[in-house]
Structure formats: C-alpha cells, structure tokens
Structure 1
Amino acid sequence: MADVSRLPWAITDHWDWQRHAACRGMNSEVFFHPDGERDPRRSQRVEAAARICSGCSVREPCRDWARRVAEPYGVWGGESEQERREHLARVRTDRSA
C-alpha cells in the first residue's frame, strides 16, 4: 500500500471556511475596486464591505488567510488592502525590533 502520509491535506480542509462566508454569492464589486475608483466612492465601498464582514462567522479565518498570503486586492475579513499593508508592516517592524 502506498504511503500517503506526506501528501498535502485535502483542499477542502484549507478552504472550507469560505462556504460559511457572509459574502458567498454576493457581487464581488462590493469587495474589489473597479479600475480608476477614487475617494469618496472607494471609502464608501470599503465601509460597505466591512459592514458585511462585521457580522460574518468566518471573519477571522478570512482576514488571517489574506494576511498570511499578503493578498494585494480586496476587502478580506473586514480589512482593506491598505489596512493589510499597514498590519504586515507593523508585524515586520515588531519582528526586526
């Protein structure tokens, strides 16, 4: 019998949290900016997305995933691109201190 202990875990184990997301099935334009979007429209869109995320049962795993992979686009777990960049910069600074 083949040794399967070194195979990666099932993809469903890694992504299962997405099935429970409040945003599932919603228009992605709420969470990802269109080309050329500027303030105040951008801030309004990010706030609307963050409101959806605020009541989501998988907010933390979503945000943590986006931070872990340094996701460059969209609102994930209630956190905008800028907020993620700032968080990652703080983490890097803390580690180097």
Structure 2
Amino acid sequence: MWNILDDEGTFPSEMDRQPEKVAPVLPLFGDAIDDSLMGWQERALCAQTDPEAFFPEKGGSTREAKKVCTGCEVRSECLEYALENDERFGIWGGLSERERRKLKRRVV
C-alpha cells in the first residue's frame, strides 16, 4: 500500500522530512482588488436588482433591464463575457440575445 518507511526501514523523523510543496490557491471569481476573471460581476448594477428583469419570459419586456444597464460601469465587461461565452438567454451588457447575435454577425 503506502511506503511510510524511509530507505533504511525506519520511520523518518520530523527533522528529516522535506516540506511539502503546495500549489497556490487561486480565487474562484477574483478578489476585490483583482479585476480578472469575473470580478466585474460584484460591481454590476444588475447584482443589486431583481434578476427576473434580466431574464424575461418570451415576448416579455426588456425595457427595465436595459434601463439598469445604461448606467452600469461594467456594461462592456458584461457584454464581452456574454459574447465570449455564447450566452443565449437574458440581457447582458444592455443587449438581448437577438441583438447580440446581430452584433456577432456584423463583426464576423
């Protein structure tokens, strides 16, 4: 099973052991200072409002969500995230899924 004895067949003393090397732990969504990954979500205005406005039912109004997006400081990061991750539902960066598709077609 496990070989816990050293080369001489004895238990290694605490002084003989080498410290284990541990991989650094990375934050899942960045931290308050680090804006990488998804730190922008913490500053998004939509995080402070009703999420249902950003995911209306088919044929429902997107006006409320888009109104919130117009004043949001991370609107461009949000839109970039949605485009890169092919988000198919909801309002992201002030655009609906249909508007994001049109935008992608114009860029390509």
Structure 1 unaligned regions, length at least 5: 93-97
Match of 1:30 in 2: 53
Separation in 1, partners of 2:22, 2:53 = 46
Aligned pair in 2 of structure 1 residues 27, 3: CA closer, same or farther (>3 Å)? closer
Distance 1:25 1:14 in 2: 20
Q: How much does 1:2 deviate?
A: 6.2
Higher relative contact order (CA 8 A, sep 6+): 1
- Give the SS at the match of 1:61: helix
Equivalent pairs: percent with the same residue?
A: 33
Q: Is the 8 A contact 1:70 1:84 kept in 2?
A: no
Which residue number corresponds to residue 60 of structure 1?
Answer: 76
Residue-by-residue CA offset, 1:40-62 (whole Å, 9 max, x unaligned): xx2xx212211100000111100
**CA RMSD in angstroms, aligned pairs only:** 1.9
TM-score (norm 2): 0.66
Whole-Å separation in 2 of the counterparts to 1:88 and 1:52: 23
Question: Tell me, which stretches of 5 or more residues in structure 2 are unaligned?
Answer: 1-20, 31-35
Separation in 1 of the partners of 2:88 and 2:72? 21
1:33 Cα deviation from its structure 2 partner: 2.0
Code of the aligned partner of 1:80? S
**Counterpart residue type for residue 19 of structure 1:** E
User: Which has more helix, going by share of residues?
Assistant: 1
- The offset of 1:3, in angstroms, is 7.3
Q: Which has the larger radius of gyration?
A: 2
Tell me the secondary structure at the aligned position of residue 76 of structure 1. coil
Q: How many angstroms does 1:27 deviate by?
A: 1.7
Q: Is 2:93 the counterpart of 1:77? A: yes
The TM-score with structure 1 as length reference comes to: 0.72
